[in-house]
């Protein structure tokens, strides 16, 4: 039950209908007895800054999950940024702090946790990421931190991929390059392509090396056309839902919610 004491959280995106965060976190709130609720906010890019300003004035608003296309804007708007958010130039969670918002980037941690749950270790693997937006930046950083042999990033906007590669190289990750790599051991779709069945494939899975692992960041549908095609060709696949499942607890802690074990 929502009452006058309820703390509010939200996920903001454009679109936002595909988001699983309200489902996941409202179930956690109920199960753990926390007086809180999470709602979806469909906000256009031009309205993101004024919405952030308005939410900062709401005393019982306690945190925001950020999805496409606002992750880079969220990092720029933050008064305080974690090292991850500063390095990648993107953020997917915000919480109120003195002077505005504090930002972190947990997509990469969730993605890595999802790989681990599927028995996949990126150490020593050649990795390719299609899409250099917020999710792609987070995943690239997480793979670098977990000793991937190489991380190649490509994007429909080559300058965006090149900018991300330069930032990561500048922060001590020399194995990053702005280039496609269809010979990679692990290939990740970090674009919005796949939310609709009519979307073009982000890349041609028939061009991949035999035995490559194909991962997607799309939450809904859980089995995108890319993953279905990759599985048909004999590739191992990882669904996008694992990325959120893997970061639910880090997001919970970032928001300062009661410890799951103690309730306090």
- Per DSSP bridges, beta strands 80-81 and 100-104 are parallel
Q: What's the CA gap between 257 and 264, in Å, rounded? A: 8
Q: Which residues contact 5 (CB under 8 A, 6 or more apart)?
A: 35
The pair of three-digit structure tokens given for residue 216, joined into one six-digit string:
């997607």
What are the CA-CA distances from residue 141 to residues 7, 43, 129, 131, 171 (Å)? Answer: 32, 27, 11, 13, 10
Query: Is 112:89 a contact under the CB 8 Å cutoff?
Result: no
Active site residue 125: no
What are the CA-CA distances from residue 150 to residues 1, 12, 83, 127, 131 (Å)? Answer: 49, 32, 21, 6, 16
Of the candidates 56, 71, 125, 160, the residue annotated as catalytic is 71
Active site residues: 71
């Amino acid at each position: 039950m929502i009452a006058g004491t309820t703390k509010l959280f939200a996920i903001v995106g454009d679109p936002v209908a595909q988001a699983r965060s309200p489902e996941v976190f409202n179930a956690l709130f109920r199960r753990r007895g926390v007086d809180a609720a999470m709602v979806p906010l469909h906000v256009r890019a031009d309205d993101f800054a004024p919405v952030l300003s308005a939410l900062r004035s709401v005393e019982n608003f306690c945190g925001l999950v950020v999805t496409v296309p606002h992750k880079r804007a969220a990092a720029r708007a933050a008064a305080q940024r974690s090292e991850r958010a500063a390095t990648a130039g993107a953020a997917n969670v915000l919480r109120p702090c003195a002077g505005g918002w504090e930002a972190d980037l947990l997509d990469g941690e969730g993605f890595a946790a999802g790989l681990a749950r599927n028995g996949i270790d990126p150490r020593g693997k050649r990795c390719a990421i299609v899409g250099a937006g917020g999710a792609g930046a987070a995943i690239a950083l997480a793979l670098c931190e977990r000793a991937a042999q190489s991380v190649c990033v490509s994007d429909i906007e080559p300058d965006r991929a090149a900018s991300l590669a330069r930032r990561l190289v500048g922060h001590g990750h020399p194995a990053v390059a702005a280039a496609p790599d269809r010979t990679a051991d692990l290939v990740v779709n970090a674009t919005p392509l796949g939310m609709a069945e009519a979307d073009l494939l982000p890349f041609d899975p028939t061009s991949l090396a035999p035995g490559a692992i194909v991962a997607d960041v799309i939450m809904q549908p859980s089995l995108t056309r890319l993953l279905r095609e990759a599985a048909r060709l004999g590739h191992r696949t990882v669904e996008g839902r694992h990325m959120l499942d893997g970061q639910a607890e880090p997001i919970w802690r970032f928001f300062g919610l009661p410890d799951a074990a103690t309730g306090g």
